[in-house]
Amino acid sequence: MGTNLLKYPALGPGGCFGIVSPSWFGGETFLPRAMHGVRYIESLGYRVKIAPHAFNNRGHVSDTAENRAADINAMFADPGVNAIMCTIGGTHSIDVIPYLDFDLIRANPKPFIGYSDTTSLNVAIHAMTGLCTINGPYLLSDWAEFPRMPEISQDWMLKLLTSSDSPGNVPYPEEWTREFLDWETGEDRTRRRTHEPNTDWTVLKEGRAEGPLIGGCLECLNLLWGTRYWPNLDGTILFIETAGDLKSAYATDELMGGLEFTGASSTESQGSCSRSPMTSLRIIGTSLDRLLRRAISNMISVITNMDFGHYSPMIAMPLGVRALVDTKTVSVTLLESPAD
């Protein structure tokens, strides 16, 4: 399904972030980290409103699908909320989609922010309304980092939210980390995670392509295939990554094969930029690299090892805005702002 891009109003000073949990939340043990993130956002001069069911826990989900959707609908309807941020991902965002009020969302455009499992919501909302949703940092995994959110993630995210100017080149972090510090024991609040020097973005296929950005977490994107929530991929710049627990090159290849059935890897003007576990193994010449090269053989230009997935820093990518992939300069440039 395709529709014209619906931009959201730029976030102004003192604006309000609404917090929702469309997938999961860890309950009381996660509250200290969540509140650290809330206080950090407030320290930047913004307000925070927590949805009624956002900090609940019902095992593998935060609450019922109806309640999770009700929180999202309420945040879009609330004139005092200017942006909507998810706490974390999980596995069941897709259950929320049938209960979303797309007419309400279309009438009240606001940035909707999350990645991983939130991909299904980002893509469905964009496909049904045209709204520019954002594959971007979560409250728990990013804004609540100790002692603070990585500056490059924060500055880029706020640029996408607050400015109507074209954002320019997607930034390249000089360092990154995948170290795990336990959130439940409080280990995450004892020190900054250990970082290592970043590896350069890698060109898998040379070329130059321009089009609207579409993508997110590959396995969550594939869940929408065959439904009315599937986006129009013709002429798009496809950005994809995989969840942190999907480490097998062959499992990734299987998911890419599913995407290939949709025609995503054979549209005429397609570029692909990806990082995260699909390519964040950062080992070129392995079976993963060979499988990727086969899967993207019909795409125009491909850059890998980018930083919009499950590691830190997390660089936000807005769905629907026009972008340029240029392998000669090894760059991805956003040509328009998602904000009005």
Indicate which residues carry an active-site annotation: 116, 241, 310
User: 180: buried, middle or exposed (CB in 10 Å: 19+, 13-18, 0-12)?
Assistant: exposed
Rounded CA-CA distance 241/218 in Å is 6
Q: Pairing state of beta strands 196-197 and 301-306?
A: unpaired
Helices (H), 196-248: 218-222
CB burial of residue 102 (10 Å; 0-12, 13-18, 19+)? middle
Residue written as token pair 């949990």: 21
What the block records as the tokens of 283 is 């080992």
**Dist. CA 195–CA 174, nearest whole Å:** 10
In the block, residue with structure tokens 């062959």: 250
Q: Is 48 helix (H, G, I), strand (E, B) or coil?
A: strand
Per DSSP, what are the bridge partners of residue 49?
Answer: 18
